[in-house]
């Protein structure tokens, strides 16, 4: 097994680029079916979801829009739980079908704080697509409508996800080695 070092920690391979790719295609297919005849607006949460959002959106074959917002800062290997809106949502979402793109749902805090802000703007519907979910870490329950992978509560990097700013450019997903 090929361990890699990111910053000061060792990580082991967890999900290959092929596994991620084929799962994303399946998730996108489901969204294409469910939203046929509609024109959903995807809202991707930066920074972590940029790579997932890009690959997912390329597989969307129905009419769809995408925009990007920035909400949370995440430091080290634990969720800081501090949500900040750095880049605002500059689109009118009244009556729109919204699909929020998140990289990973850990405690659920980020989404549970953000969802009321979205609901407040009276969209027609709101669904969540997340690449990863750590069910054991869930403290604030959020319904994930489309999910890539359910994973154990171990810190992961790669495919857009960072450890102290590094590792986002890795094509695969690695997890903290014991
Ligand atoms: P939550 O608010 O659900 O606890 O955490 C969501 C955010 O925490 C994610 O968008 C992500 O930025 C960060 N996060 C949670 N778990 C991990 C992880 O294992 N690796 C990385 N790199 N970020 C994580």
Separation of CA 119 and ligand 1 centre (Å): 22
Average pLDDT of the residues in 117-133:
95
Q: Which atom of ligand 1 lies closest to the CA of 155?
A: 19
Q: Which atom of ligand 1 lies closest to the CA of 161?
A: 22
Ligand 1 — pocket residues by CB below 6 A? 48, 72, 74, 79, 102-110, 155-157, 161-163
Q: What residue owns the CA closest to ligand 1's atom 20?
A: 156
- Mean pLDDT of the chain, nearest integer: 91
**pLDDT value at residue 74:** 47
- Of 97, 106, 145, 162, which residue is the catalytic one? 106
pLDDT at 155 over 90: yes
pLDDT classification of 82: cutoffs 50, 70, 90: low
**pLDDT value at residue 78:** 53
Contact, 146 vs 163, CB < 8 A?
Answer: no
pLDDT at 175 over 90: yes
Separation of CA 36 and ligand 1 centre (Å): 31
Tell me, which fold does domain 23-153 have in CATH? Rossmann fold (3.40.50)
Of residues 83 and 46, which shows the higher confidence score? 46
In the chain, % of residues over pLDDT 70: 90
106 is catalytic: yes
Separation of CA 37 and ligand 1 centre (Å): 33
The per-residue DSSP string of 119-142 comes to: HTT--SEEEEEEEEE-GGG-SS--
Separation of CA 177 and ligand 1 centre (Å): 17
Q: What residue owns the CA closest to ligand 1's atom 4?
A: 107
Average pLDDT of the residues in 64-93:
68
Considering the entire predicted model, what is its pTM?
Answer: 0.93
Average pLDDT of the residues in 72-99:
68
């Amino acid at each position: 097994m090929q361990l890699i070092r990111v910053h000061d920690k060792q990580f082991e391979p967890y999900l290959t680029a092929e596994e991620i790719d084929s799962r994303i295609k399946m998730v996108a297919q489901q969204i294409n079916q469910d939203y046929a005849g509609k024109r959903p607006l995807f809202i991707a949460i930066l920074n972590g979801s940029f790579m997932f959002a890009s690959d997912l959106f390329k597989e969307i074959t129905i009419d769809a829009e995408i925009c990007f917002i920035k909400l949370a800062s995440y430091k080290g290997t634990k969720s800081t739980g501090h949500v900040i809106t750095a880049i605002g949502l500059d689109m009118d979402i009244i009556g729109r079908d919204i699909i929020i793109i998140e990289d990973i749902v850990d405690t659920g805090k980020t989404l549970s704080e953000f969802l009321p802000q979205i609901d407040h703007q009276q969209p027609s519907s709101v669904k969540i697509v997340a690449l990863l979910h750590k069910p054991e870490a869930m403290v604030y329950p959020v319904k994930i409508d489309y999910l890539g992978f359910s994973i154990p509560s171990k810190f992961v990097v790669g495919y857009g996800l960072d450890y102290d700013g590094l590792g986002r450019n890795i094509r695969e997903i690695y997890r903290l080695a014991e």
